Structure 1
């Protein structure tokens, strides 16, 4: 089992939700942290809330995942902070709450830009560093909707499905280049109690501005963070974290026709 003490962990989307909770949990593990998101002031807040003993080893690196042309420089800056990076956690992203028929194409593009292209841009930028060191761990926070689509989340589900296609392929390719030296872990949360739905985009791109019932009743973010840390330590390929909704992955696989009928009636907001 991998120990996280003194490991350099770069977390995107670290200013709130799962990323924030993961920062606190990683700090307790003794990891050296690089925290990224768009809002510098929120990153400073998260750093200040980490345990006092860890704050000297917490650095902030603001970035915008939609500005992919700047992410190579961000990656170089991240490597320079501690001299290397051990683990990249692709956690930054946005959610969606709108029906496909009501969603303009620009909204679908924006979701893909943040959730998919931002993650693979950072991944591609850091790959040469991992390959040179013959060591590294790529952790990507997807969703159970990366395994099955639900109403009200067509663009979001599409972006998460795309992540699975990319990282499953990458995992197979890296084994040929680096054996087991570089790990790829997909994290698939279900309903986790975070503020992600407050900023979820609606059909015209405006924020939803409220937390839906399913999210409100979800599992705590700190509980989710501990499950993610366990998956990282065990170098899991893929894990599902949440409540009963995670069973949808198995039902979709083994009972696809039944699941197709069920999901169209399921309460997902």
Structure 2
């Protein structure tokens, strides 16, 4: 369904964008690939040609800059003469507690790429997409509805993308199709290293980039309005709609109880100690859901000798003190 069509992909040098290029190439699409790293883009372009794309061009671009975005669209259309799919995939991530951020303006880089970059390219692509009755594929994230601690601006930028494209869909009607994609955690440069531990998401399943890219292209070809990928991520959306307070509680528990949850994920039995009994009950229940065979809670104050003696008598297994992570010094 996309053989011979012209597809523009931002953020194509790695991650989902790279594998979207390969998936479109397998189906015979012509490609215009954009990212900041020219050498990496050329390597992706070479592989895309080998996979079956009849024509691939590389356009080094920083989509956070309006003039770069305009140049990217113009060069692609001048080369191919048309535009059928615009895939806005480029994105960056920053992990930090909001209150610990020293320079709030630092987050502008994130929003300029994740949100404004998509706005810019979409604006310049609209006339060409109207002519071809084309489609926009906007890569958002489940972070757009999941309130993930330490990722406040990333979540906000993805929520903005979803709302932006939903509004455009109402404006365009059937003139331009829009597929809004909300992936979960996917293999990429962003999810490598200590990302998952920093974001307290170690227990979240990570989907392969190739599988995610195939699902996205399939969805775009079907003309879907939305794609939540992988399927487990749909549960988070249902929780957001039906029980938003439950979803917020889950992520709050992940933040304040990450050590206990890491032991639980590895199958340890737990004895959880803190002064607030209600919170302990919640953490123990979540730990057992994650994988702990047994999690008991023992209300107590470890600063008091009599409480410590009582705790030692009750202890059955690994002792984990649950408290809010301290602020950075």
TM range (shorter): 0.7 to 0.9
| TM-score, normalised relative to structure 1 | 0.87
2: CA distance between counterparts of 1:195 and 1:243?
A: 22
- Give 1:66 deviation, angstroms: 1.8
1: CA distance between counterparts of 2:169 and 2:196?
A: 35
Structure 1, gaps ≥5 residues long: 199-208
Tell me what 1:28 maps to: 26
Q: How many residue pairs align between the two structures?
A: 252
Q: How does 1:68-217 map to 2 (within 5 A)?
A: 68-103=66-101, 104-131=103-130, 133=131, 135-175=133-173, 180-197=174-191, 210-212=194-196, 214=201, 217=205
Tell me what 1:201 maps to: none
1: CA distance between counterparts of 2:118 and 2:100?
A: 27
Tell me what 2:304 maps to: none
Contact 1:34–1:58, Cα closer than 8 Å, also in 2 = yes
- Give 1:258 deviation, angstroms: 2.0
The alpha-carbon distance between structure 1 residues 194 and 134, as it changes in their structure 2 partners (threshold 3 A), is closer
| TM-score, normalised relative to structure 2 | 0.72
The alpha-carbon distance between structure 1 residues 6 and 23, as it changes in their structure 2 partners (threshold 3 A), is same
Q: Which region of structure 1 is more displaced relative to structure 2, 239-248 or 253-262?
A: 239-248
The alpha-carbon distance between structure 1 residues 70 and 194, as it changes in their structure 2 partners (threshold 3 A), is closer
The alpha-carbon distance between structure 1 residues 242 and 266, as it changes in their structure 2 partners (threshold 3 A), is farther
Q: Secondary structure at the match of 2:52?
A: helix
Q: Secondary structure at the match of 1:159?
A: helix
The alpha-carbon distance between structure 1 residues 74 and 255, as it changes in their structure 2 partners (threshold 3 A), is same
Q: Secondary structure at the match of 1:128?
A: helix
2: CA distance between counterparts of 1:17 and 1:254?
A: 32
Larger Rg: 2
The alpha-carbon distance between structure 1 residues 19 and 134, as it changes in their structure 2 partners (threshold 3 A), is closer
